[in-house]
Each structure stands twice: as C-alpha cells, then as structure tokens.
Structure 1
Amino acid sequence: MSKKASSYLKGATILAVAGILSRLLGLFYKVPVYNLVGSYGNGIYSNVTNVYNLLLMVSTVGLPVAISKMISENIAVKDYLAAHNVFKVSFWTLLIMGGLSTAFLFLGADWLITVANWPGESFPAIMAIAMAPLVIAVCSSFRGFFQGFQIMNPTAISQIIEQIIRVGLGVFLCWYFVSSGMGVGMGVGGAVFGATAGGLFAMLFLWFLYWAFTAANKKTLKQTSRPVPLTSKQIFKRLVIIAIPVTLTSAIVSLFSMIDSLIYIPRLALAGVDAHTATTMIGDFANADTLINIPLVISGTLAVAMIPAISESFALRDKRAMGHKIDVAIRLVIMVALPCCIGLSVLSQGIFDILFQGSPYGPEILKYYAYATIFMMLSNTFQSILQAIDRFRVPLINLAIAIVIRFVTGWICLAVPAFNIYGIVISSMITFVYLTISNYICVKRFTGFQMDAKQTLFKPLVSAIVMGLATWGVYAVVSMFVGNFIAVVTAVVVAVAVYFFLMILIGGITEEEMAILPAQKIIEPVYRKIRGILYR
C-alpha cells in the first residue's frame, strides 16, 4: 500500500475509533436519561434533537466538507497561503450561519411546538439546545481545517471531549430537575443542555490546537505556488459552489427524521394511536436509531477522511490511487456493516433489556430496523465518493427523489393499523435501498469502479449469516442458565470470534485491511497465527 493511501486509511481508522467511542459515550448518556424520563420523555428529546440536527446540517455540514476539500486541493499544489485563507473565509461564514440557526431556535420555539403538535414540555429542551448550533459551527470550521491537512487527531479528541461533557453534565442536570419535581420537560432540557456545554469545551480545545499549529507553521502558511494569490472573493465563491450542494444533501438526509417528527402524531392517529402513545413509540424508535447509529460512525468517518484524500488524487489526476481508496473504503464498510446489522437484529431483545428496560416497542423495532444499516452506510459512502470527485449535484438529485419516496411511503405506512410505528422502518428501508442503488450506479459511471462481488460482498455475507446463527444459538442457550447481561456479552464475544475466524478461513479479510484496523498490534498476530494454522 502506498504511503498516501496508508495515511488516508489510518486517518479514517482514527476517526472511526473516536466516532465509535463518542457514540458509545452517547449511548451511556441516553440510558440514564431514558431511565429518568421514560419513552415519553425520550420522544420529546427525539423531536427537539431532530430539529437541532436539521439546523446543524444546514449551518455546519457543507462548509466543513468544502474547507477540507479546498485545503487538501491547495496543499496538493503547494499553495499553503490559499489553504489558510480558505479557513479564514469559512470561519466567519460558519459563524454567521450558526448564529442564524441559534436565533431561529430562540425566537421560534413556540411556533415550532404549535405547528408540529408537540407537547408543551418541549419548550425547555428547545431553549437549552438553542446555543449549540453557533458553538458547533465554530468547531466545524476548525475540524475542517485540520481534516484538510489530513490531521485527524484534533477532530477525534474534540469529539470525545464533547461527549464526555455532554454525558456528565447532561445526565446530572436531567437527574437534578426530575428529582426536584420540575417535570419531564425540564429533565429533557437539562439533558440536551449537555450538548451545548460539550460543544463549548470542544471549541476551546480546537481553538488552542489551531493557535499552536499556525504559530508553529507561520512561514509555511505564507507560501504560495501561484503567481497571483487567490482572493477572498474567489475562495468564497468556490466554497459556496461546493458547500451548497453538500449542505442541501445533508439537510435532505436530516429531513428524513424531521418529516417523521412532524407527521407521526396525526398519521398514527388514523391508525388508532393516541398522541401520548405515539410519542412513546417515537421515543422507542429513537432508541433503536441510537443503536444503529453506532456502526454508522464507520461510514461517516470514512466519508470525512475520504473526501480530502480522494480529492487530492482527483486533483492530481491519479486514477489508480483514487480507485484504490474507493475500493478499500467500500470493502471496509461492508465488512463492518453486515455483521453489525445481523448482530443487532438477533440480539435486539437482549440489548434493549440491558439498556432500555421496559421499552414496549424498541426490541421489535430494532429487530427489523437493523437491516437498514447496511444500506445507510453504503449510500453514505457512495455519496461521499461523488462529492470528492466534484459530482455534487448527482447525490443531491438522488436525495431529492429519496425525500419524495420517504414522505410518501411514511405518510401511507404510518396510517396503516397493522404497521403503525413500523411504517417508519418500512419507509426507511425502501428509501435507503433506492439511495444505495442509485448512488452506486453513479459512482460506477463516473469513476469506472468495478466492485468485486465475491471478495467485497459474498464472503462477508456468508460469514455474517453463519455468525448470526451462532450468535442466536449461543444467546438462546446461555440465557437459560444465567442472566441476560452475561448471555448478551457471551453471544457478542462468540459473534466476533466466529466472524473473524470465518473471514480468515475464506480469505475475506486481507493483510492490507488488517494493517489499518484498530488495535492492529493485538489483532494482527492473532490473524497471522490463525492463517498459519489454516494454511500450513
């Protein structure tokens, strides 16, 4: 593997590990919050954070992608002055956009509650999270800067800091308000305020690293290879050209959840479900969504690392390096996604009994919703590839069609009594299957990429199916003799061992992929030992 490819993949692995740790911390945060406010309170939490996430997509996602892409492009041609100026222009742009999102939440809380038919207890939560878009916007500018230089540690560490503060403070405030008798609404407000505080600490950390980096590289950041340096106007124009389609793309993805939040109460009413029960259902769906978001970190972090890395190869017209990065990224995503979705489905009841005990709808939702994971991860990866090669409009067009599919299928399925809340699961599956197929066809068309179905898809699929059967059998037997927690842990350990062994046995994992996996120094000797036994 080339040094550049190795660097890109190592960067992706660093972000993936940090992302998974961050999501696990977020899961540990949601468990006590759920136990304090219940499924109903979790429904309020989900409604508010869906709006917050949409605003965050609009105000922060497109520009950081544009920052990292433009910085990596300028570094490739040794124009470090332009790379630094990209950050300066985008910083002020993100500050303004984040400020507008914050103002909307502060001033539009009552209007939002009325329009969406949400419970009045949602108001404290909206106020508590209102400052977060502004703070996270600033964080995003710093993260885009470092990612453009393909330095992934600042993003990784800041994400963990953000989650630690969010968990610690959010859970404490939720407990304090609920135990003081202030009600579920104030408890949820305390919980979501942790996101604002976590973002603030992460912002200060990133600012310090940026100050140290620019001070240490002052001379380098003034160097340019262009006879005439790029102006702020030229940089801003390029930023907008890249950021608008990426922002719209991300906003449409967030609209999926936003649509659910706006229509689930009136549509479920037609299925005979009252508002309180509907909010409880959406709360349990949100918990299932939290669990499947853990493996989704892999595709998300690969996307963050992939865009500047592939953009560099694209700018240098190095098709071979670009194709190799695409191939390895897709193999890694499928290798992780298949066992995750099958494992989450098989162990859905056991996982919910540990984390969200007493959840009336969550286990069954997760049992079926888990299979959407593979399509979510692949569609996200293909979308990022298209953005990296300047095909920004293509995923946007595919998503525009997808939002119509999501709205129509969700609108119909939620109102069917036999489906009720599972209408969202059906709608999600249909939508992401469409996105995976359409984005893959476009990647194949514009890059000439050919997927090796046997190596990339068939071998992980066979290994994951056998793993799923083993996991189900072990959990069923062990749970007859010991508690649920030990049964789930035992089943997970067996699942990892069986999948890893089978992938080695049938050649589904290569030495190249082993070299970039987390805990490589621990895993690789085991890999070599097993291979040595199998292939003597």
Structure 2
Amino acid sequence: MQDANREGRAIWRGAVILTVAALLVKIMSAAYRLPYQNLAGDVGFYVYQQVYPFYAVAVALSGTGFPIVISKFIAEAKNGGGFRKEAQIRRHALIALFILCGLFFCLLFLFATPLTEVMGDERLSSLIRISAFIYLFVPLIAVLRGNFQGENQNMMPTALSQIGEQVARVLLIIGSSWYLFLHHGDPYQFGRAATIGSVAAPAVSLIILLLYFRKEELPSARGADRAYSRIDWHLVKDLLINGCLFSLLALPLVSFQLIDSLTVIPLLNHAHVPDPMEQNGIYDRAYALTQFGMIAAASLTATIVPGLAKLSALRKKREIQRQASLALKISLAFGLAAAAGLAVISKEVNIMLFRNAEGSFSFALVAFTMLTLSLILTASGILEATGRPWLPFLYLMAGVAVKLVGNYLLIPFFSINGAAAATCLATALTAWLNVRCLRRKSLAAALQFRLILKLCAAASGMVLAVLIWKLLIVEWESRLADSRLLATGIALSGALLGGCVFLFLIFILRYFDSADFKRLPMIGRWLNKSPDKESKISE
C-alpha cells in the first residue's frame, strides 16, 4: 500500500511541476495577447488567430502528445527491458517524427494558397508558409521531453523548456508589434510578425533540453547501434499512430478552432454580417482565456499516463481506478470553478483585456468549455494510458462533426454567438462520451451523487459571492461604465474572491477525502508522517 501511495505521490508531484509551468506559460500567453490585440486591433487579432491552429498542432506534437506517448513506451521498457530497448524507442521516435513533421511542412508550405481559398482569405497564405517551419523543431524537442518524462518521471526539463520558449515568444511578438505600431503597420503585418515570433521561439526550448541532456549519464551505447541498426517499422507505426492520436487528444480545443478557421469567415460572409473579419477577431477573444481552465487537466494528463501505463502493465486494476477517479475529481472541480468563474465576470474580463465589452455573451458561452475540455483531456489520457487510444479519438471526431454541423446551422442566424454555442455543444458531447466510457470499462468509479451536490454547492457559493461583490460596487460601475481600470479591479478582485471561496467550500464540504489527500504530493507525505493528523482529517 505504501508503494502504491508513493507511486501516486510521484504522479501528482509531476503534475504540480507541470501545472506551475503551465500556469506561468498561460499567464504569459494572456499577457502578450492583451497588448497585441490593443496594438493590432480586432482584425490583426483575427489574422493571427486564423493561423494559430497550425502553430498549436506543432505545440501539441512537441509539448504534450508525442512526449506523453514516448514517456509511456519508455516507462514500459524500464519495467520490462533495459537500456537498449529505451535507446531503440528514442531512435524510432525520431524517425517517426521526422516522417510526420516533414509531411506537415511540405503540405503547409506547398498548399498554403488552396487552403486560404477555403478559409476565405487568400492574404493568409504567406503566414501559413511561415508557420510550416515550426515543424522542423518538433522531432528533437518531443523526443527529449518524452525521454525525461519517462526516465523517473522527471518533469523539470519539460517545465523549464516550456517557460523558456514562451518567454522568447512573448518578447518577440510584443517587440515586433510595438515596432509595427510605431510605424503604422497593417493587420497582416502584425499577424506575420506574431507568426515569425511563434516559429522562432522553439529554438530556446531545444537549447534548454539539450543542456539537460548533456548532464545525463547514459550507459555506453556500444553495440546498441549494431543491435538496432535495422529499422523496426512496426514500432515506428505504433509511435506514429499513438503519437498522432494523443496529440489530437492532448489539445482538443485546436480541433474545434481549426473548424472555426475554415468555416466562420465564409459563413459570416454568406450571412452578410458587417465586418466579418472584425467579428471573427471579437469571437477569438474568448479562446485567449479558455486554456486557463485546462491547465490542471493538461498537466495531470502529461503525468498520469506513464504512471498508469506501469500500473496497467502490472495489471493493478484497483490502483488504476483510484488514480483515475482522483484525476477526474480534480478536473471536474477545477474545470467547473474556472468555467463558472469566468462566465460571471466575462464582461469585466473582456473590457480589462480587450478595451470594450463587445462579444461578452459569446465570451461567457465559450467559458463553459473550460469544464468540458478539462474532462476530455483527463479522460482521454486515462484511456490512452490503458491501451484504448482509438476510443477518445472517435469521440473527438464525433464532437468535431457536431461542431461543423453546428457552425453551418447556427452562425447564419446567431453570428459569432452561434459559433460559441456550437463549440459548447460539441465539447459537451465529447466529454460525456469519454466519461461514460471510463465508467463502462470500470476504469474510474462513478462520482457519487452527494459529491456532485457538494461540488455544485461550492460552485454556486462562489458565483453568489462574486455577484454580491459586483452588486456592492454597482454604483461605481454605473458611473464609470467605460472605465477599463474599474473593470480590471472588478475582474481581478472577483477572480481572487471566487477562487478563495471555492477552495474554502470544497474543503469545508469535504469534496476530497483523506484517501485523496494521501495521494497528493507533500500533503500525502505529511499525513503519512503524522498519523494523529491523518486521523483528525478523516474524523
């Protein structure tokens, strides 16, 4: 039992490291979008967001999808193999990624113009060609991250490389945008500069990972090259299939954003909406913050997969169910808190970040995808780790189909609000299918009704507290309705108040029990050393 708890705490410790790194990355991501949108305007923001999904796919391949799959293969090799098998996985992962990324590069570079014709804006072709170059960094970055995550679940190199890459990206984008603002650049020049900054930043991540790799004391590979000189195409195929599947599953929002990039502008044009590019830029505002609510889920996914893969190989079904159930409880709790919290202060956050309240209703609608996407990420990670990657992929494709149909049905009548509603419906269906599958496969215990009531009570208390807080200063808000400073104060204080109230309520209501706490890093170690304190918590 102690070994199981120790394994569980190692998983959650890795989750904490990646969560902190992801939080810093997302804060910087929101921080650069604020001045970028203010400098480039809604049309300039639209230009960059149209190309962003192609960049985000590369980030999914190198940052989450392939590193998780590689770490899973390495973790399984460490459990039943030796150094040679791990070396074989690294080498074949490089081969698989060079094939895949070379294909992506050629397709985007050579077929940029036909793609932009479908998107309804041929001026985007040069930006798509620029975005193709990021795929040249992906193979080495993904293999190095996967190697560190599989070797003793070391998340620090991944975390630091993500932070370093984002710092470089933010500095390049803001610096170039400020230069263009001073020289009266047009929206497409802003978009081009932002794309170049995003493509160049991974070089920093690669340098950090290589510095860590040089410190690794690997056993001598003499003879290993001879043993594995022949390419195992079956292993390459397995890595490609699993890596591609989980890359899609690791960043599901990109799948829905890609549908928007291909359909929103043509549909807005067909519906004769005034200034469709500006409207699309306003709609894209919500996506800038949606990823905040997915931080915990994305980090949990990256860390639970190697641990669950080991447990699956050892056929420890009971421990898999415990770890998976806790991961779902965490994703559900913090996904709901983030969604409800952002929805209730959506107007103020919109003004704070983007100068006006336009599109606040669609902003509030898209906020609820924080909950559904968090559940999708965690549930698909559990299914992938236990050898069922095709199921969450099929569920995601079902969601993408609903999103596509929803856009065609709703955008002509409700403009960008229709696109937001289609995203909510599509992600809700995908999340429901994934969680339902976990229960049917006995991979996670069903959440008890009393726990759902506790969580709803905590979320309701949080929303009520924020609404009361907003009502207390409603007179100031009415007098200074256009004040960005006031909106900033309400948004930040409301977020802080709501977060504190939610944490207080889930602790008081005991949404997490003592067994859950023992599986978390630091808390679990403290409880194991203090049996008296453990008994007090369980009382």
Whether the aligned pair in 1 keeps the contact of 2:25 and 2:166 (CA below 8 Å) is: yes
Q: 1:372 aligns with which of 369, 372, 381?
A: 369
Q: 1:210 aligns with which of 197, 208, 213?
A: 213
Separation of aligned partners in 1, 2:518 and 2:169? 33
What's the counterpart of residue 182 of structure 2? Answer: 179
- For 1:305 and 1:127, locate their aligned partners in 2 and report how far apart those are by CA, in whole Å: 34
**d(CA) in 2 for partners of 1:520, 1:166:** 35
1:79-158 residue pairs with structure 2 within 5 A?
Answer: 79-118=82-121, 120=123, 122-149=124-151, 150-158=153-161
Shift in alpha-carbon separation, 1:353–1:107, aligned structure 2, 3 A:
same
Q: 1:296–1:373: 8 Å Cα contact kept in structure 2?
A: yes
User: For each residue in 1:26-63, what CA deviation from the matched residue of structure 2 results, as whole angstroms up to 9, or x when unmatched?
Assistant: 11111111011111111111111123334665788654
**Partners of 1:134 and 1:512 in 2: how far apart?**
45
Partner of 2:167: 164
Distance 2:451 2:303 in 1: 20
Tell me, yes or no, if the aligned pair for 2:66 and 2:247 is still in contact at 8 Å. Answer: yes
Q: 2:21 aligns with which of 18, 22, 34?
A: 18
Closer, same or farther: CA 223–336 of 1 in aligned 2, 3 Å: farther
Which residue pairs with 1:68 in the alignment? 71
> Could you report, residue by residue, the CA deviation over 1:224-279 in whole angstroms, capped at 9, with x for unpaired residues?
9xxx98974053243245335435656976332212111112222343303xx222
Report what 2:448 is aligned to: 453
Instruction: Give the partner amino acid of 1:143.
Output: R
Q: Provide the residue aligned with 2:432 in structure 1.
A: 437
Instruction: Say which of 366, 377, 381 aligns to 2:378.
Output: 381
TM-score (norm 2): 0.88
2:538 and 2:434 map into 1 onto residues whose CA distance is 39
Structure 2 counterpart of 1:489, from 477, 489, 492: 492
- Offset of 1:111 from its aligned partner? 2.9
Q: Report the CA distance shift for 1:12/1:252 in structure 2 as closer, same or farther (over 3 A).
A: closer
CA distance in 1, matches of 2:449, 2:163: 37
Q: Which amino acid aligns with 1:30?
A: R
Query: What TM-score does the superposition give when structure 1 sets the normalisation length?
Result: 0.88
Per-residue deviation, 1:511: 4.9
SS for the counterpart of 2:418 is: helix
Deviation at 1:513, TM superposition (A): 5.1
1:49 maps to 2:52: yes
User: Do the aligned partners of residues 217 and 354 (structure 1) sit closer, same or farther apart at CA in structure 2, a change above 3 Å counting?
Assistant: same
Q: Percent identity?
A: 23
C-alpha distance 48-152 of structure 1, shift in aligned 2 (>3 A): same
- Taking a change above 3 Å as real, the CA distance of residues 244 and 351 of structure 1, as seen in their structure-2 partners, is closer
Partner residue of 1:404 out of 401, 406, 409: 401
1:463 maps to 2:461:
no
Q: CA deviation at 1:520?
A: 7.0
Asked if the contact 1:337/1:374 (under 8 Å) is kept, the reply is yes
* Whole-angstrom CA distance in 2 between matches of 1:246 and 1:299: 14
Q: 1:113, 1:515 → 2: CA distance?
A: 52
Confirm or deny: 8 A CA contact 2:67 2:146 kept in the other structure.
Answer: yes
Cross-structure match for 2:483: none
Give the letter for the 1:76 counterpart: N
Distance 1:141 1:296 in 2: 24
Residue in structure 2 matched with residue 527 of structure 1 by the alignment? none
Opposite residue 460 of structure 1, the aligned amino acid is: L
| CA pair 534-187 structure 1, distance change in 2 beyond 3 A | same
Q: Once the 2 structures are TM-superposed, how far is the Cα of residue 449 of structure 1 from its aligned partner?
A: 2.5
Paired with 1:252 and 1:505, the residues of 2 have a C-alpha distance of 33
Listed as ranges, the matches of 1:257-272 within 5 Å are: 257-272=257-272
Partner Cα distance (1:403, 1:272) in 2? 25
| Equivalent residue number for residue 199 of structure 1 | 202
- Does the aligned pair in 2 maintain the 1:124–1:185 contact within 8 Å? no
SS at match of 1:447: coil
Secondary structure of the residue aligned to 2:174 is helix
**1:6 is matched with which residue?**
9
Structure 1 residues 66 and 165 mapped into 2: Cα distance closer, same or farther (>3 Å)?
Answer: same
Per the TM alignment, residue 369 of structure 1 is displaced from its structure 2 partner at its CA by 1.7
- 2-structure distance, mates of 1:488, 1:250: 29
Amino acid at match of 1:204: I
- On the 8 A contact 1:59/1:97 being kept in 2, the answer is no
d(CA) in 2 for partners of 1:519 and 1:168? 35
Q: Distance in 1 between matches of 2:334 and 2:155?
A: 21
Alignment partner, residue 391 of structure 1: 388
1:357 is aligned to 2:355: yes
Code of the residue aligned with 2:167 in structure 1: it is I
Provide the residue aligned with 2:506 in structure 1: 503
Partner residue, 1:327: 325
**CA distance in structure 1 between the aligned counterparts of 2:313 and 2:89, rounded to whole angstroms:** 17
Quick check: 50-59 or 24-33, which moved more?
50-59
Whether the 8 Å contact between 1:345 and 1:366 is mirrored in structure 2 is yes
Amino acid at match of 1:320: R
* 8 Å contact from structure 1 (residues 34, 356) kept in 2: yes
| Mapped contact 1:284–1:359 kept (Cα < 8 A) | no
| Partner AA of 1:431 in structure 2 | A
**Pairwise CA distance, 1:412:** 0.6
Query: What value does the CA root-mean-square deviation take over the aligned residues?
Result: 3.1
Q: Distance in 1 between matches of 2:147 and 2:292?
A: 25
Task: Give secondary structure in 2 for the equivalent of 1:480.
Answer: helix
Q: CA deviation at 1:131?
A: 1.5
3-state SS of the aligned residue for 2:258?
A: helix
| Matched positions, count | 518
Contact 2:65 2:246 in 1 (8 A): yes
Structure 1 residue 278 corresponds to structure 2 residue 276: yes
- Equivalent residue letter for 2:148: F
- CA drift at 1:161: 0.4
The residue type equivalent to 2:463 in the other structure is G
Give yes or no for contact 1:85–1:232 (8 Å, CA) kept in 2: no
Which of 402, 411, 421 pairs up with 1:426? 421
Query: Could you say if the C-alpha distance between residues 535 and 84 of structure 1 is closer, same or farther in structure 2, counting changes exceeding 3 Å?
Result: closer
Task: Give the letter for the 2:131 counterpart.
Answer: I
Partners in 1 of 2:51 and 2:189 — Cα distance? Answer: 13
Preserved CA contact (<8 Å) 1:267 1:414:
yes
Deviations 1:139-193 (A, max 9, x none): 1221111122211111111111011000011110122123223322112211222
In the alignment, the residues of structure 1 paired with residue 383 and residue 195 of structure 2 have an alpha-carbon distance, to the nearest angstrom, of: 34
Evaluate the alpha carbon distance shift between residue 145 and residue 179 of structure 1 in structure 2; reply closer, same or farther with a 3 A threshold. same
Q: Closer, same or farther in 2 for the Cα pair 1:367/1:4, shift >3 Å?
A: same
Q: Relative to 1, partners in 2 of residues 1:298 and 1:308: Cα closer, same or farther, differing over 3 Å?
A: same
The CA deviation at 1:534 is 11
